[in-house]
Amino acid sequence: MSSKIRLGILGGGGDSLIGVLHRVASSMYDKYQIVGGVFNPNWENNISFAKTLGLSENRVYIDFDAFIEEELKLPVSERIEVVSVLTPNFLHFPMAKKLIENGFHVICEKPLTTTLSEAKTLESALKKANTIFAITYTYTGYPMVRQMREMIQSGVIGDIQKVDIQYYQGWINPILLDKSLRKTIWRLDPEKGGVSCCIGDIGTHAFNMAEYLTGQEVTSILADLNTRYDDNPLDVDGTILIRFSKYVKGVIRASQIATGEENGLEVKIYGSKGGFNWKQENPNYLYHLTDNKPLQVLKPGHAYNGALSLNGTKLPPGHPEGIFDSMGNIYYGVAKAIRNEACDSGEYPTMHDGVRGMKFIEKCVESHKSGNIWLDI
Amino acid sequence: MSSKIRLGILGGGGDSLIGVLHRVASSMYDKYQIVGGVFNPNWENNISFAKTLGLSENRVYIDFDAFIEEELKLPVSERIEVVSVLTPNFLHFPMAKKLIENGFHVICEKPLTTTLSEAKTLESALKKANTIFAITYTYTGYPMVRQMREMIQSGVIGDIQKVDIQYYQGWINPILLDKSLRKTIWRLDPEKGGVSCCIGDIGTHAFNMAEYLTGQEVTSILADLNTRYDDNPLDVDGTILIRFSKYVKGVIRASQIATGEENGLEVKIYGSKGGFNWKQENPNYLYHLTDNKPLQVLKPGHAYNGALSLNGTKLPPGHPEGIFDSMGNIYYGVAKAIRNEACDSGEYPTMHDGVRGMKFIEKCVESHKSGNIWLDI
Amino acid sequence: MSSKIRLGILGGGGDSLIGVLHRVASSMYDKYQIVGGVFNPNWENNISFAKTLGLSENRVYIDFDAFIEEELKLPVSERIEVVSVLTPNFLHFPMAKKLIENGFHVICEKPLTTTLSEAKTLESALKKANTIFAITYTYTGYPMVRQMREMIQSGVIGDIQKVDIQYYQGWINPILLDKSLRKTIWRLDPEKGGVSCCIGDIGTHAFNMAEYLTGQEVTSILADLNTRYDDNPLDVDGTILIRFSKYVKGVIRASQIATGEENGLEVKIYGSKGGFNWKQENPNYLYHLTDNKPLQVLKPGHAYNGALSLNGTKLPPGHPEGIFDSMGNIYYGVAKAIRNEACDSGEYPTMHDGVRGMKFIEKCVESHKSGNIWLDI
Amino acid sequence: MSSKIRLGILGGGGDSLIGVLHRVASSMYDKYQIVGGVFNPNWENNISFAKTLGLSENRVYIDFDAFIEEELKLPVSERIEVVSVLTPNFLHFPMAKKLIENGFHVICEKPLTTTLSEAKTLESALKKANTIFAITYTYTGYPMVRQMREMIQSGVIGDIQKVDIQYYQGWINPILLDKSLRKTIWRLDPEKGGVSCCIGDIGTHAFNMAEYLTGQEVTSILADLNTRYDDNPLDVDGTILIRFSKYVKGVIRASQIATGEENGLEVKIYGSKGGFNWKQENPNYLYHLTDNKPLQVLKPGHAYNGALSLNGTKLPPGHPEGIFDSMGNIYYGVAKAIRNEACDSGEYPTMHDGVRGMKFIEKCVESHKSGNIWLDI
Give B66-95 pLDDT, tens digit per residue.
Answer: 999 999 999 999 999 999 999 999 999 999
CA atoms within 13 A on the CB side of B217: 11
Given pLDDT bands bounded at 50, 70 and 90, which one contains residue C248? very high
Residues of B with CB below 8 A from D317's CB? 262-263
Q: Are residues A147 and A98 both part of a single domain?
A: no
User: What string of DSSP letters covers B110-162?
Assistant: SSS-SSHHHHHHHHHHHHHH---EEE--GGGGSHHHHHHHHHHHTTTT-SEEE
Query: Best interface-test mutation with C: which of A325, A329, A339 has the largest number of C CBs within 10 A?
Result: A325
- At how many degrees (to 10) do helices C351-369 and C116-129 cross? 160
Number of separate domains in chain C? 2
Helix (H) or strand (E) holding C376: strand C375-376
Residue D290, in any domain of the structure: yes
Q: Is C213 helix (H, G, I), strand (E, B) or coil?
A: helix
Interchain CB contact of A139 with C (< 8 Å):
no
Interchain CB contact of A316 with D (< 8 Å):
no
Given pLDDT bands bounded at 50, 70 and 90, which one contains residue A314? very high
User: Rounded to a whole number, what is the distance in Å from the CA of B329 to chain C's nearest CA?
Assistant: 23
Query: Best interface-test mutation with A: which of B152, B159, B161 has the largest number of A CBs within 10 A?
Result: B161
Given pLDDT bands bounded at 50, 70 and 90, which one contains residue B8? very high
User: Rounded to a whole number, what is the distance in Å from the CA of C147 to chain B's nearest CA?
Assistant: 13
Provide the β-strand partners of residue A38. A10
DSSP A12: -
Q: Is A214 helix (H, G, I), strand (E, B) or coil?
A: helix
User: Rounded to a whole number, what is the distance in Å from the CA of B279 to chain C's nearest CA?
Assistant: 17
Residues of A with CB below 8 A from B177's CB? 272
Q: Are residues D122 and D147 both part of a single domain?
A: no
Residue C374, in any domain of the structure: no
The confidence score (pLDDT) of residue D89 equals 93
CATH of the domain at C209: 3.30.360.10
Inter-chain residue contact D259 with C224, CB threshold 8 Å: no
The confidence score (pLDDT) of residue B192 equals 86
Inter-chain residue contact D251 with C249, CB threshold 8 Å: no
Q: Is the dihedral of CA C294, C295, C301, C306 positive or negative?
A: positive
In one-letter notation, the amino acid at residue C342 is: A
The neighbours of chain D, by the rule of 3 or more Cβ pairs under 8 Å, are A, B, C
The confidence score (pLDDT) of residue B11 equals 97
Which of A227, A258, A295 lies nearest to residue B162, judging by beta carbons?
A: A258
The neighbours of chain C, by the rule of 3 or more Cβ pairs under 8 Å, are A, B, D
Of C44, C37, C32, the closest CA to residue C10 belongs to: C37
The confidence score (pLDDT) of residue D19 equals 97
Q: Are residues D233 and D158 both part of a single domain?
A: yes
**Could you give the strand order of the β-sheet that contains B133-135, starting from the edge strand earlier in sequence?**
B32-38, B5-10, B82-85, B105-108, B133-135
- pLDDT tens sequence across B155-171: 999 999 999 999 999 99
Stretch A300-315: mean pLDDT: 97
Res D260 pLDDT > 90: yes
Residue C320, in any domain of the structure: no
Q: Are residues D114 and D255 both part of a single domain?
A: no
Of D186, D196, D178, the closest CA to residue D254 belongs to: D196
- pLDDT tens sequence across D267-295: 999 999 999 999 999 999 999 999 999 99
What angle (nearest 5°) sits at the alpha carbon of residue C177, between those of residues C174 and C183?
Answer: 95
Of D188, D73, D127, D141, the closest CA to residue D283 belongs to: D141
Interchain CB contact of C282 with B (< 8 Å):
no
Of B369, B363, B365, B329, the closest CA to residue B347 belongs to: B329
The confidence score (pLDDT) of residue C325 equals 98
Res B143 pLDDT > 90: yes
The mean predicted confidence, pLDDT, of chain B is: 97
- CA of D138: how far to CAs of B44, B246, B304, D163, D207, in Å? 37, 52, 27, 20, 13
Among the residues of chain B, which ranges form H helices?
Answer: 17-27, 43-52, 64-73, 89-101, 116-129, 143-153, 172-177, 179-182, 190-193, 198, 204-214, 307-310, 323-338, 351-369
Residue of B nearest to D315 (CA): B17
Given pLDDT bands bounded at 50, 70 and 90, which one contains residue C182? confident
Res C32 pLDDT > 60: yes
Residue D306 to residue D56: CA distance in whole angstroms: 41
Residue of C nearest to B300 (CA): C294
CB-based burial, D127-153: b 16+ in 10 Å, e otherwise: eebebbbbbbbbbbbbbbbbbbbbbbe
| Residue span of the structural domain in which D205 resides | 143-311+350-369
Residues constituting chain B: 377
Inter-chain residue contact D295 with A297, CB threshold 8 Å: yes
Interchain CB contact of B162 with A (< 8 Å):
yes
Residues of C with CB below 8 A from D164's CB? 253
- Give yes or no for a cis peptide into A111 (omega within 30° of 0): yes
Residue A152 to residue A274: CA distance in whole angstroms: 10
Residues of D with CB below 8 A from B323's CB? 315, 319-321
Q: How many CB pairs (< 8 A) connect B and D?
A: 127
Q: How many CB pairs (< 8 A) connect A and C?
A: 125
Q: What is the number of other CB atoms lying within 10 angstroms of the CB of residue B107? A: 26
- pLDDT tens sequence across A198-237: 999 999 999 999 999 999 999 999 999 999 999 999 999 9
Inter-chain residue contact C299 with B303, CB threshold 8 Å: no
Q: What is the number of other CB atoms lying within 10 angstroms of the CB of residue C128? A: 9
Q: What are phi and psi for residue C32, nearest 5 degrees?
A: -125, 150
3-state helix, strand, coil in chain D (%, to 5): 40, 20, 40
Given pLDDT bands bounded at 50, 70 and 90, which one contains residue D255? very high
Inter-chain residue contact B288 with C294, CB threshold 8 Å: yes
Q: How many CB pairs (< 8 A) connect C and D?
A: 133
The confidence score (pLDDT) of residue D193 equals 84
The confidence score (pLDDT) of residue A244 equals 98
Residue D174 to residue C6: CA distance in whole angstroms: 54
Interchain CB contact of C288 with B (< 8 Å):
yes
In one-letter notation, the amino acid at residue C358 is: M
The confidence score (pLDDT) of residue C204 equals 98
Res B274 pLDDT > 70: yes
- pLDDT tens sequence across D194-208: 899 999 999 999 999
The confidence score (pLDDT) of residue C46 equals 97
Residue of B nearest to C304 (CA): B293
CATH of the domain at C101: 3.40.50.720
Q: Are residues D171 and D50 both part of a single domain?
A: no
Residue A66 to residue D223: CA distance in whole angstroms: 75
Residues of B with CB below 8 A from D28's CB? 20, 24, 324
The confidence score (pLDDT) of residue C59 equals 97
Residues of A with CB below 8 A from C283's CB? 320
Interchain CB contact of C3 with A (< 8 Å):
yes
- The contacts of residue A361 (CB under 8 Å, 6+ apart) are A111, A116, A194, A195, A196, A199, A200, A203, A204
Res B1 pLDDT > 90: no
Res D348 pLDDT > 80: yes
Q: What is the number of other CB atoms lying within 10 angstroms of the CB of residue D270? A: 28
Q: What are phi and psi for residue C106, nearest 5 degrees?
A: -135, 135
The mean predicted confidence, pLDDT, of chain D is: 97
Residue B285 to residue B317: CA distance in whole angstroms: 11
The confidence score (pLDDT) of residue D141 equals 98
- pLDDT tens sequence across C187-242: 999 988 889 999 999 999 999 999 999 999 999 999 999 999 999 999 999 999 99
Domain end point (choices C138, C169, C204):
C138
Q: Are residues A154 and A205 both part of a single domain?
A: yes
Residue A364, in any domain of the structure: yes
The neighbours of chain A, by the rule of 3 or more Cβ pairs under 8 Å, are B, C, D
Stretch A147-165: mean pLDDT: 98
Q: Are residues A128 and A211 both part of a single domain?
A: no
The confidence score (pLDDT) of residue D192 equals 86
Q: Are residues B255 and B242 both part of a single domain?
A: yes
Q: Are residues C154 and C288 both part of a single domain?
A: yes
Interchain CB contact of B132 with A (< 8 Å):
no
Residue B339 to residue D222: CA distance in whole angstroms: 57
Residue C342 to residue C329: CA distance in whole angstroms: 14
Res A346 pLDDT > 70: yes
DSSP C26: H
Interchain CB contact of D259 with C (< 8 Å):
yes
Residue A263 to residue A241: CA distance in whole angstroms: 21
Q: Are residues A69 and A53 both part of a single domain?
A: yes
Residue D318, in any domain of the structure: no
Q: What percent of chain B has pLDDT over 90?
A: 96
Residue C282, in any domain of the structure: yes
Residue B255 to residue D107: CA distance in whole angstroms: 44
What ranges make up the beta strands (E) of chain A?
5-10, 32-38, 82-85, 105-108, 133-135, 160-168, 220-226, 237-245, 248-255, 264-271, 275-279, 286-289, 295-298, 375-376
Res A245 pLDDT > 60: yes
Residue B81, in any domain of the structure: yes
Of A78, A22, A102, A12, the closest CA to residue A50 belongs to: A12
Inter-chain residue contact C263 with A319, CB threshold 8 Å: yes
Inter-chain residue contact D24 with B28, CB threshold 8 Å: yes
- pLDDT tens sequence across A170-193: 999 999 999 989 888 899 999 888
Residue A323, in any domain of the structure: no
Q: Are residues D126 and D152 both part of a single domain?
A: no
- Burial of residue B285 (number of CB atoms within 10 Å: 0-12, 13-18, 19+): middle
Q: Are residues D168 and D243 both part of a single domain?
A: yes
Residue D225 to residue C326: CA distance in whole angstroms: 36
Domain end point (choices D138, D169, D201):
D138
Domain end point (choices C105, C138, C171):
C138
Residues of C with CB below 8 A from D157's CB? 259
The neighbours of chain B, by the rule of 3 or more Cβ pairs under 8 Å, are A, C, D
